[in-house]
Structure 1
Amino acid sequence: MKKENLTELIEFVLLDFADVPHLRWLLFGLFSVIYIAIVMSNGIIFLITKLDPALHVPMYYFLGNFSFLEICYVSVTLPRMLMNLWTQRRTISLVACATQMCCILVLGATECFLLTVMAYDRYVAICNPLHYPLVMNHKICIQLVAGSWISGIPVQIGQTFQIFSLSFCGSNLIDHFFCDIPPILKLACGDTSVIAMLFVALPFVLILVSYSKIISTILKLPTARGRAKAFSTCSSHLLVVFLFFGSATITYLRPKSNHSAGTDRLLSLFYTTVTPMFNPLIYSLRNKDVTAIIYLNNFFNLHTCIC
């Protein structure tokens, strides 16, 4: 494009649900309830894992951090969307938009790493139960969690800078409810193929490797009851992995020609709102069983109580 056709943008306009103004208050009420439910449910899990001595084990240490992460994750997007629905002021500055995207990318990378760490925890518990207390000691757990929170920061800051260093072709209308990568790249000129989501693919491969070994070990257990119990306690984590990585992969890695505003918004709502809302329910379904097994086996028969 000619240089005079390029506009130096200082702000964007988030259209979010501007195409359905008659549903404005219904959407505001719905997402307010969803936001409160996500914060309260994940907050309860976080507090329980910290206050209940029976849950001071690596699996629940990771789960507590995961619940806190979900609160942070949803707080980056939903409050802004609720404010837009309430005030109908949809403008967001370039700096605020870049900050929001950077926070989403950093927290998304942290979620990828935490899910990988949780898969590794189950791998060690199932495949090397006798070495579990040594391998997953408190110091190692802290290091794994700290690494999950910190590792993605420099890369995602760099990726955000790369995206917002692009030239934008006049329009400042973002057909989305937050500053996500696909709708921002639609406004950019030139080649955007260099933008990649490496922090989605690599953790997912590591999780697949961990669970291939876990499943192989479970199938070798002598009793059907033991195999069923091991599979049931692994299923919640697998379901969360499927929900998060499935929606994120479709959103960021599908061909650019298949992108549409409606599909992007739906998928983004799924992994930024629906998944954090269902994660506490998915994990709480097994709390009683796991706690009972921890008490009965005194945390030494880890191949049956933690996978």
Structure 2
Amino acid sequence: VSLQELMEPEAGTNRTAVAEFTLLGLVETEEMQSVVFVLFLFAYLVTVGGNLSILAAILVEPKLHTPMCFFLGNVSVLDVGCITVTVPAMLSHLLSHRPTISYGACLTQLFFFHLLAGMDCFLLTAMAYDRFLAICRPLTYSIHMSQTVQRMLVAVSWTCAFTNALTHTIALTTLNFCGPKEVNHFYQLSCSSTQLNELLLFALGFLMVGAPVVLIIASYIHVAAAVLQIRSAEGRKKAFSTCGSHLTVVFLFCGTGIFNYMRLGSEEASEKDKGVGVFNTVINPMLNPLIYSLRNTDVQGALWRILVGRWSLT
């Protein structure tokens, strides 16, 4: 979303201090705002329902008590968190016709979005490592991907994501905000130098996104080489199918994320930028349950049994 600055005089100085920001939004007319509200509400409900269904299937189905599904369950929780950080507030703004957000709320939203999105990057990397071990090192898979290793990977991921989010949030609090009154989508409202913030953004962005992407690509190069050596066509198909959904999610999540952050600081705004931003924060979390359930027969079976069980109880 984009911001228009509302400023109040800061006591004892000639500068102005930000009290709140006005969100310019995606559309201008009230009719289109109603359409956007319905679409985003639908996307939010589908995302929460779909991801919680995946999580429920993993918890109740013994066949899904695997390392890959353990990571998938964590990704489902993160997807619910990511969309909850942004969409409910947006829906509230559309209803109230007062699209403002306080400075503190803006920082809080920034922190949690960086935290959850960063965690997503690391979990997708852990899932690629899991596929590498399962296909390329099957004899030692149970040792190298034990429950202890799974928990350590998740703990390290949370630590790195938390450090990244906290660093960006603290760096942002050092800025004085008295920038242009109206900018579109991507913005710079600070009247002080943002050079350090931009340096942190790109340096940590490389560590949080670039390094995981390199590791994922390296893992799947080894996976592809191992799968191509399988003589059975059915075996190759099964091996590739277990990786296809994960690669699709990686491509969508990392592709849109890299595009968004490479555009930061640009003076030029476009509707395409807004569309990619919406895709990254709203559409991706909604698509993930669909992608995983369509390509995993065990997940489909578990979801079907949960659905049939609920209907039989009623």
Judge same fold: TM > 0.5, yes or no.
yes
Give, as a single letter, the amino acid of the residue that structure 2 aligns with 1:30: L
Where does residue 187 of structure 1 map in the other structure? 189
Equivalents in 1 of 2:264, 2:38: separation in Å?
34
How many angstroms does 1:241 deviate by? 0.2
Match of 2:213 in 1: 204
Matched, 1:271 2:284: no
After TM superposition, the score normalised by the length of structure 2 is 0.84
1:105 equivalent in structure 2: 114
The amino acid across from 1:283 in the alignment is Y
Distance 1:162 1:263, change over 3 A: farther
In structure 2, distance between residues paired with 1:173 and 1:257:
14
Query: What SS does the corresponding residue of 1:10 show, helix, strand or coil?
Result: strand
Deviations along 1:221-259, whole A, 9 cap, x unmatched? Answer: 122222222112211100000000000011102474475
Residue in 2 aligned with 1:28? 37
The verdict on how the C-alpha distance between 1:5 and 1:224 changes in structure 2, with shifts beyond 3 A counting, is farther
Counterpart-to-counterpart distance in 2, 1:290 and 1:120: 21
1:233 to 242, 257, 266: 242
Structure 1 residue matching 2:16: 3-state secondary structure: coil
How far apart, CA to CA, are the structure 1 residues paired with 2:264 and 2:79?
Answer: 28
AA aligned to 2:49 is M
1:119 counterpart = 2:128: yes
| Runs of at least 5 residues in structure 1 that lack an aligned partner in the other structure | 177-181, 293-307
From the superposition, tell whether residues 252 and 224 of structure 1 become closer, same or farther in structure 2 (CA, over 3 Å): same
* Structure 2 CA distance for partners of 1:174 and 1:110, relative to 1, 3 Å: farther
- Number of paired residues? 283
**Paired AA for residue 189 in structure 2:** L
Partner of 1:46: 55
Relative distance call for 1:5 and 1:126 in structure 2 (3 A) is farther
Indicate conservation of the 8 Å contact 2:257/2:280, yes or no. yes
Contact 1:14 / 1:173 at 8 angstroms: preserved in 2?
Answer: no
| Residues 62 and 278 (structure 1), Cα distance of their counterparts in 2 relative to 1, 3 Å cut | same
Q: Which amino acid aligns with 1:31?
A: F
Measure the CA separation in 2 of the matches of 1:47 and 1:290.
10
**Which one-letter code corresponds to 2:16 in the other structure?**
T
TM-score w.r.t. structure 1 length? 0.85
The alignment yields a C-alpha RMSD, in angstroms, of: 2.2
SS at match of 2:119: helix
Please tell me whether the aligned partners of residues 134 and 141 of structure 2 are also in contact (alpha carbons under 8 angstroms). Answer: yes
Q: Read off the aligned partner of 2:160 and give its amino acid letter.
A: S
Q: Taking structure 1 as reference, are residues 5 and 112 closer, same or farther at Cα in structure 2, changes over 3 Å only?
A: farther
Shift in alpha-carbon separation, 1:149–1:255, aligned structure 2, 3 A? closer
Give a deviation string over 1:126-184, Cα, whole Å, max 9, x none: 110010111111111122122222321122211122134223334455644xxxxx43x
Letter in 2 for 1:188: S
State how far apart, in whole Å, the 1-side matches of 2:65 and 2:264 are: 44
The superposition leaves residues 80-112 of structure 1 with CA deviations (integer Å, 9 ceiling, x where unpaired) of 000000001212111110110111011110000
How many percent of aligned residue pairs carry the same amino acid?
Answer: 40
* Whole-angstrom CA distance in 1 between matches of 2:299 and 2:121: 24
- One-letter amino acid of the counterpart of residue 147, structure 2: H
Is 2:156 aligned against 1:155? no
**Residue 96 (structure 2) aligned to one of 87, 93, 111:** 87
Q: Structure 2 unaligned segments of length 5 or more: list them.
A: 1-12, 302-314
The separation in 2 between residues aligned to 1:220 and 1:87, in whole angstroms, is: 60
